[in-house]
Structures are given as structure tokens and as C-alpha cells.
Amino acid sequence: MNRKKIMILKLLVALALMLSSSLSYAAEIRIAVASNFTRAMMGLVQQFEADTGHKVKLVFGSTGKHYAQIKNGAPFDAFFAADMKRPKLLEDEGLAVPDSRFSYALGRLVLWSPETGYVDSAGKVLSDGSYYHLAIANPKLAPYGRAAKEVLQSRGLWKAMKGRAVRGENIGQAFQFVHSGNAELGFVAYSQVKYPGQSIIGSYWEVPQTLYSPILQQAVVLKDTAVTRAFIKYIKSKPALEIIQDYGYDVP
């Protein structure tokens, strides 16, 4: 063997080593995440990637759609839902890793308007205000919509809201309706108006949690790999819980 050939061989070996090391140490996982948790999850993943070197690919969308996709074989390693219904269903249907279901966040509902002084701190504007449209998420599909309906029912306003309540497909669309000014106010997620370290723009009423049943967001593992396990462990850690709170959620 001449020198040149040995040189090439060495290079090839080095290349193979590099490839194999990158494969075994920095794996990539794919996670389906409920849209309302978008910003918080990006904050969490940034930290996780910096700590471990693993890559996390996030797929955002409505929980209903993700559920249907997973049932039809979508290649996700874990599923962070907006409710507990869909993770429970996946567990019952044997599509989730047994005993992997856990609550990662508790959503908080607020009545919000981008206009300062529009929403009072007791939510009286709901019955007293003259507004054309109140945006909510679709109560049939979205947990925040269901919570909004419960609040309106507890105030005896649900029936009167027919024709005034505009329903977004999800809480993201409800927020957009209010943010664009097309609806004067709306029930949105606290996490949508709360940015870490900043004061909230506009006016809002933080709805007492006694007025609606808890918006418990749960996750399940779909593929049990070392990286998924590491990620779930990180999500349950104290620094992660602090990040989740920073983005406007309560932690269970």
C-alpha cells in the first residue's frame, strides 16, 4: 500500500467515526405540540438542546388534528396535547407507551382586549359593555373554548351571547380575532398575552379558576427512546417548570 492509499483510508475511517458519533450522541426526536404551548415549548427546547446537544423537531397544530394523525401513523416520538382527553384515548387505544401520560401544564383563562382600560378587573364588561363581538375558541373542540363557555354559563350570559360570540377554530384564531380588532374582546389563554419579563399589553380579567373546570394539558410518549426519555425528564425538572410558569401557565 502506498502512502496515498493509506492517507485516503485514514480519512475514510475518520469520516466514519464522525458520522457514527454524531448518530449515537446527538439524535433527533419529533414532537407534536398543541398550538397554545408554542412559545413555551420553543423556550424549553432551546434550553434542552443547549444542555444535551440533541435536536428536537416541533410540529405545532391543533390537538384534534394531531390525534388523527397519530392514529394514522404519524411519526411523532411524543405528543403534548391541549387537553387530557386525546392522550387518554391514545393510551386506551394502545398507541402510547403505557404509564407515560402526565400533566405538564395548567392553562389559565383571561378575558382580554388590546385596548387599555377596556376590560375591568372583575369582568363586568361582559354584561355591561357594548360590543359587537366576543371571541372564544370553539367550545366543542378547544379546552379554552370549553372553559370560556363555562364562565359565560356561570354568569348566565351564554344564551345571550348567541350571534355575538365568534368562535375561532382554536385559541390561536380566537386571539387573532381580538388582536386584529375585529372582536373587541375575547377569552384567550394567559400564555398568549404574557411574555416572560414583559408587562401585558391592553387590559384583562384573569378569570377565577373556580369558574371553569381545570384546563389540564397532558402529554404522552409514543416511542420509547433514550432521547425521548431524557426530554420528558427535562420537562419535569425544576428549571423547566419555571420556564413553563414564565410563559403564563400554572404547573400541576
Binding to another protein by residue 62, rule CB under 8 A? Answer: yes
Residue 82 interacts with another protein (CB under 8 A): yes or no: no
Sign of CA dihedral 170, 250, 125, 179: negative
140 in contact with another protein (CB under 8 A): yes
Contacting residue, 169, 206, 224, 246, with another protein by CB under 8 A = 169
Q: 111 with 119: CB under 8 angstroms?
A: yes
Residue 180 makes contact with another protein by CB under 8 A? yes
Q: Looking at 51, 132, 239, 242, which residue binds another protein (CB under 8 A)?
A: 132
- With both helix axes pointing from N to C terminus, report the angle between 38-52 and 226-235 in degrees, rounded to the nearest 10: 120
Out of 177, 190, 212, 249, which residue is the one contacting another protein (CB under 8 A)? 177
Q: Contact at 8 Å (CB) between 31 and 76?
A: yes
38 binds another protein (CB under 8 A): no
Q: In the stretch 181-220, what mask flags binding to another protein with x, by CB under 8 A?
A: xxx-------------------------------------
CB of 167 to another protein, least distance (A): 4
List CB contacts of 43: < 8 A, sequence separation 6 or more: 196, 243, 246, 247
Task: Provide the minimum distance between the beta carbon of 4 and another protein in the complex, in angstroms, as a whole number.
Answer: 56
Question: The cell 379554552 sits on which residue?
Answer: 144
Q: HEC states along 156-212?
A: CCCHHHCCCEEEECCHHHHHHHHHCCCCCEEEEEHHHHCCCCCCCCCEEEECCHHHC
Would you say 248 and 108 are in contact if contact means Cβ atoms under 8 Å apart? yes
138 belongs to the binding site for another protein (CB under 8 A): yes
Binding-site ranges for another protein (CB under 8 A)? 62, 64-65, 68, 132-133, 135, 138, 140-141, 162-163, 165-169, 173, 176-177, 180-183
